Amino acid sequence: MLQPDTPAKKDSDPLETGGVDQALDILASHQAENVASMAANLQLYESLIEHFPGGLCAFDENLNMTVCNERLKELLDYPTALFSDGLPNIEQLFRFKASRGEYGPGDIETHVQSRLRLVQLRQPHQYERELPDGRIIEVRGRPLDGGGFVTTYMDVTEQRNHACKLEALVDSFPGGICVFDRNFKMILCNETLKKLSPNPESMFAGGLPDMEDYIRTSASHGAFGNGDPTQIAADRLLSLRQGKFLQDQYRQSGGRYIEISTLPLKDGGFVETQIDITKERTRTLQLESLIENFPGGLSMFDDQLKLVLHNDQFKELLDYPEEILEREDVTFSDLLVFNAERGEFGHGEVKDLVDDRLKLVKGNQPHRFERIRPDGTALEIRGVPLEDGGFLSTYTDITERLQRQADALKMANYSALTGLPNRSLFQDRLEVALAQAERGAKMAVLYIDLHEFGVINTTSGQKAGDHILMTLGKRFREVKRDTDTYAYLGADEFAIIQVGIESIEGAEILARRILRTIREPIEFGNQIYELDACIGVALAPENGTFSDEIQAKVETALHHAKIVGPGMTMFFHNCANRTYL
């Protein structure tokens, strides 16, 4: 704060208007004229003085007050007694102010003489003075050509308080910030902005720069991309004059990332902020790297189910055309419709297929499922809802994994030699079939024993025996119904689970078909083998519905069939009477 009545020059204030200067010009012009001219313009004087928004007074060459408006008396709290003998001279005013302590402690006469010497310098002056009651008064004085001077007093307390608050806000802003007036002159700037600006020593060497110099200097350090700094400044200024909001990000030579935002103000001027986004940008780059290197497809949708993020794998795995994903407004529903129309979800009405999948997402619950695409690709799809709405989905190609699982399952449950289910899978399927028999379904279990197969292995070798088993496995797979199970139990034994029969005749027909299939000649090397077999049969639920029970009875039936000889089929309930087919 300047000391009271001390002449001082200050930079132009953005809060000032031209009204005070205009009033001073008019008064200076008319004060230089003679008394007759002033009388002729009395009406102009009275109007100016009456409507002037602050205190106003004028002094002649002898420093006697010639003009004083009522606002001045109110503003400076002058008592009526001071004007009881007419308008006071400048010395009387100084002495009055000094006597009530407006110039601070000290000798009154010393204060008066000090200020009289300043007036005699006849220099324009402008300063602010804080009154004892806390109000801030802006004082402007201008010497007149004919002697004397004109002085105005404006209460700028509110403006200065506003400016202080603005300065405090600027200083506490968590980044760089500066303010430009309507003439593109920087009027306010915090220290953070200077630190973030490229080459601050040069940019702020002559004080606060104007917008053009500021942009040009920033552009020369790559703030707004490549190009001629002068042309960049011209283009940017044009955009700002058109009231456009501008935002840019750039990487400084030291590795920091800075985001620059320039916002036009309603009454002219601009506010620009600079934020160090190095940490955020680094996290973004890491996220982008993670997305692009994610071992599968990845997509993210916002709370309106609009696609906001995806990687190349997402496009490739689901075979999306460029024209769909390049759209800025593509939604999850759009992708569902596209997939439904091209048969990704199988048969059905497009609307129904889409609605079913939209319900899954709108349920806002994590989900996981597998889908086989028309080209045979198997995808595992996982969806995770996001806190602010929307969801994140991942897509993993599990085709090879499923194939490996299928191969492993086949190895564990199928005979590598015959391609038929082994004893383990046979047991599982028997349990399922017997459970159905408990509820009234009819079924049969058939055990098949090849006649003298061991002799073939001994005389012709294992390769011949393996070839015979492989051939029988292939024949059984060709003749079986989809609902039945044909299994290879090892050595020379096969088994069949026949379901959905209505009577014993169904099992009898199947037994005859199996014997015919086995009896068809098999050629290996230079030899033709003609085989025969025995078959034992047990029925469920007639002979039981427990696995151990039914297997024991079918083994009993097979044992009796083998006693009779090759080509025999024996049902358990006929074993006692030795009835043969």
In the chain the domains, ranked by start, together with CATH numbers, are 19-159 (3.30.450.20), 173-280 (3.30.450.20), 294-401 (3.30.450.20), 414-574 (3.30.70.270)
**Gap between the Cα atoms of 212 and 197, Å rounded:** 15
Strand order across the 533-540 sheet: 485-490, 493-499, 443-450, 533-540, 569-571
Query: What are φ and ψ of residue 62, in 5° steps?
Result: -95, 10
Query: Which pLDDT belongs to residue 581?
Result: 43
Decide if 331 contacts 421 (C-beta within 8 A): no
For the chain of 581 residues, list the mean pLDDT of each consecutive stretch of 10: 35 44 56 48 68 88 89 89 90 90 88 88 86 86 86 86 68 83 88 82 84 87 85 90 88 82 86 86 74 82 89 89 87 90 87 86 82 88 86 89 83 91 95 94 96 91 95 95 95 95 93 96 94 96 94 95 94 63 43
**Gap between the Cα atoms of 31 and 150, Å rounded:** 9
Q: Burial letters for 545-570: b for 16+ Cβ neighbours within 10 Å, e otherwise?
A: bebeebbebbebbbebbbeeebbbbb
pTM, two decimals, is: 0.44
CA nearest neighbour of 245 among 231, 229, 262: 262
Decide if 160 contacts 259 (C-beta within 8 A): no
Question: What is the number of other CB atoms lying within 10 angstroms of the CB of residue 406?
Answer: 10
